[in-house]
């Protein structure tokens, strides 16, 4: 009992672990692959119910009253009212909350692809539909799977990771030429400057690559880009399970 208490109080990295046997490794791998397959299957079924979506990315830190939160909320309202699109986010706080809130206030579909965490589910209260994921990468793939446009607001490492991954997928033609719109000129001009002053002179990207995204604070321009982007119609699945949020 004393040994058990001592182990409980150790940092996880210091707890001695027995190596898995080959049989245990194979079993664990198979279970993980099955769960990943299930998440992708359920995620794609879920998304097929929403053929016209705009996906938002941005910091979780912004709150109501912040210029970016308020802009994301107002823009989502216009996208729903004027274009009839659903709004999709990761379902969390900050910019995601603002976008889902605007969509809900405008009477539109407000979708969240949420993530299950060890302590609690991080989910904003403005979702009309959601689906949970265990794996971050499964969730990320589904966030980019069916959107007609991507809106990126200022954010941290996570936002930049998603931004660069999506423009890389566009650059390498792994996804269609879906508009990538970076909202917040004051923030994104610094990213552009690094690309122009460092990347292009080194030859790591070309001037043409700068056309993979648009930086703007003009809401009318954002709506015009979304309106003129092709709709990637999804084929509906039978027996789809969509989780309404009460």
Q: Is 79 within the bounds of a domain?
A: yes
Q: Is 82 within the bounds of a domain?
A: yes
Amino acid 242: pLDDT: 43
Range of the domain at 220: 33-244
CATH number of the structural domain spanning residue 90: 3.40.50.450
Q: Is 14 within the bounds of a domain?
A: no
Q: Is 7 within the bounds of a domain?
A: no
Which residue, among 140, 234, 216, has the nearest Cα to 179 in the 3D structure? 216
Amino acid 17: pLDDT: 62
Q: Is 23 within the bounds of a domain?
A: no
Amino acid 161: pLDDT: 94
**Count of structural domains within the chain:** 1
Crossing angle of helices 136-145 and 157-171, in 10° steps, is: 50
CA angle 70, 74, 80 (to 5 degrees): 145
Question: DSSP assignment, residue 116?
Answer: B
Q: Is 2 within the bounds of a domain?
A: no
Amino acid 29: pLDDT: 80
Q: Is 1 within the bounds of a domain?
A: no
Torsion sign, CA atoms 147, 149, 151, 157: positive
42 C-beta neighbours (distance < 10 Å), count? 18
Q: Do the Cβ atoms of 58 and 153 come closer than 8 Å?
A: yes
Q: Is 208 within the bounds of a domain?
A: yes
DSSP for 10-59 reads S-GGGS--PPPPHHHHHHHHHHHHHHHHHHHHHHHHHHTT-SSEEEEE--
Kindly report the pTM of this predicted structure.
0.82
| pLDDT tens digits in sequence order for the chain, 246 residues long | 444 444 344 444 555 567 767 766 767 788 888 888 999 899 888 988 898 999 999 999 999 999 999 999 999 999 999 999 999 999 999 999 999 999 999 999 999 999 887 665 578 999 999 999 988 889 888 888 778 999 999 999 999 999 999 999 999 998 888 999 999 999 999 999 999 999 999 999 999 999 999 999 999 999 999 999 888 654 444 444 444 444
Residue in this structure with the two tokens 């007609």, named with its chain if needed: 148
Amino acid 51: pLDDT: 85
């Amino acid at each position: 009992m004393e040994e058990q208490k001592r182990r409980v109080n150790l940092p996880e990295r210091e707890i001695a672990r027995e190596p898995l046997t080959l049989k245990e490794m194979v079993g664990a791998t198979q279970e993980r692959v099955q769960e990943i397959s299930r998440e992708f299957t359920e995620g794609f079924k879920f998304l097929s119910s929403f053929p016209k979506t705009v996906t938002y990315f941005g910091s979780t830190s912004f709150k109501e009253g912040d210029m970016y939160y308020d802009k994301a909320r107002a823009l989502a309202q216009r996208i729903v009212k004027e274009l009839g699109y659903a709004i999709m986010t990761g379902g969390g706080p900050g910019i995601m909350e603002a976008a889902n809130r605007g969509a809900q206030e405008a009477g539109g579909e407000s979708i969240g692809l949420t993530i299950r965490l060890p302590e609690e589910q991080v989910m904003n209260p403005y979702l009309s539909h959601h689906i949970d994921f265990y794996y971050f990468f499964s969730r990320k793939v589904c966030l980019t799977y069916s959107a007609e446009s991507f809106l990126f607001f200022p954010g941290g490492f996570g936002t930049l990771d998603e931004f660069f991954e999506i423009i890389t997928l566009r650059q390498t033609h792994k996804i269609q030429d879906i508009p990538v719109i970076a909202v917040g000129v004051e923030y994104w001009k610094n990213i552009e400057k690094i690309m122009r002053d460092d990347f292009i002179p080194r030859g790591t990207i070309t001037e043409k690559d700068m056309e993979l995204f648009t930086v703007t604070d003009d809401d009318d321009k954002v709506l015009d880009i979304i309106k003129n982007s092709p709709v990637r119609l999804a084929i509906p699945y039978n027996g789809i399970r969509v989780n309404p949020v009460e």
